Amino acid sequence: MTTARAGKPIIGISTGDPAGIGPEIIATALARDQVHKLCRPIVIGDAGVMRNATRYARVNLKVRPVAKVSDATFARDGIDVYDLKDVDIDRLELGKVSAMAGNAAFEAVRTMIELAQSGAIAATVTAPIHKEALVAAGHKFPGHTEIFAHFTGTSDFTMMLAAQSLRVVHVSTHVSLRQACDAVTRERVLKVIELAHDACVRLGIERPKIGVAGLNPHASDGGLFGSEEREQIIPAIEAARGKGMNVEGPQPPDTFFAKAVGGAYDICVAMYHDQGHIPVKCQGFKYDAKNRAWTSVNGINVSLGLPIIRTSVDHGTAFDQAGKGTASDASLLDAIEYAARLANHRG
């Protein structure tokens, strides 16, 4: 039995971009009893960054650098950090894009993937990265999901977003809208339905009800507004039903997600990035226009189809809040809970 499978799961948490809010929301979350009831957390990143983060978050936790996961004590009074020693604290500027910060964020993710592949940790949770900083450091990936896919050799993968009871998976994500239309093929839609079904089963939903959105307005109204539903989406749904899955659709996208929020589906298949992201963020994000501030940033991101478990916050680096200790850890708490549930089911 590996270290990751003994007792509560060991969950790795990458620091994200050290110039953003990632480290301090991690410090805030790890000060909460609920996290330690779910798992044994270990942070992957620079120990100096996490020491500063405990000050910003105003939490009384000792940072304990370790060279191996097996050295971690998981004591309640501290934060175990798999120390990469790759940030010059004197040069780090909070809220600023830099190649140093981008490289540190990348190395934390790459190292965490290696630890998960070796069995040293049972699941991975990622704090936000900044794409411009990644590119400045020479790492040309559009996001976390693509980094994980690259280093795990995965070709069939997708993103699942979740906020409260709403879960959404995507046929395509980080491509142009024109490319997204071309990505709607029978084979890809069927694969995403299968990934959605598997994710729900791993979450303990024995026979999930899966709803599939159309691509076109009114799901094409019988072919008046496009042929993708008839030629690609419906054949994929029929194939999924032939495999015993409980699938409904294609549904008109303008009413589909309202039905899902009302409990019609356990999980939804969206055809492209914004079709799925907008309803989830309307469900989990709340903005106070008077104070020009987000009052709620709930929701998570789960990468499906990978050989390892990966969950993430569903928000960015929030450079404007970095170092102020005001950023909410709500999304991170949700991500840790999902990671623990998936790890326990797999174990």
Per-residue pLDDT tens for 7-33?
899 999 999 999 999 999 999 999 999
Distance CA 230, CA 152 (A): 35
pLDDT band at 344 (very low <50, low <70, confident <90, very high): confident
pLDDT band at 6 (very low <50, low <70, confident <90, very high): low
- Strands 310-313 and 300-304, sheet pairing: antiparallel
Domain ranges of the chain: 3-154+315-346, 158-281
CATH architecture of 158-281: 3-Layer(aba) Sandwich (3.40)
pTM for the model:
0.85
pLDDT band at 288 (very low <50, low <70, confident <90, very high): confident
Burial class (CB in 10 A: 0-12, 13-18, 19+), 293: exposed
- Residues 126-136 have a mean pLDDT of 95
Two domains, one topology: 3-154+315-346 and 158-281? yes
Q: What is the pLDDT of residue 3?
A: 43
- Residues 255-267 have a mean pLDDT of 95
Homologous superfamily assigned to 3-154+315-346: Isopropylmalate Dehydrogenase (3.40.718.10)
Distance CA 275, CA 87 (A): 38
Tens of pLDDT, residue by residue over 227-242, are: 999 999 999 999 999 9
Q: Which residues contact 265 (CB under 8 A, 6 or more apart)?
A: 209, 210, 211, 248, 259
Lookup result for tokens 């070796």: 118
The pair phi, psi for residue 170, each rounded to 5°, is -125, 135
- Residues 174-193 have a mean pLDDT of 95
pLDDT band at 165 (very low <50, low <70, confident <90, very high): confident
Distance CA 14, CA 20 (A): 13
Quick check: 262 and 276 in contact, CB under 8 A? no
Count other Cβ atoms within 10 Å, centred on residue 296: 14
pLDDT band at 295 (very low <50, low <70, confident <90, very high): confident
Name which of 263, 252, 144, 241 is nearest 193 in CA terms.
241
* Tokens describing residue 80: 């175990």
Alpha-carbon distance values, 193 to 85, 166, 200, 300 (Å): 42, 16, 11, 19
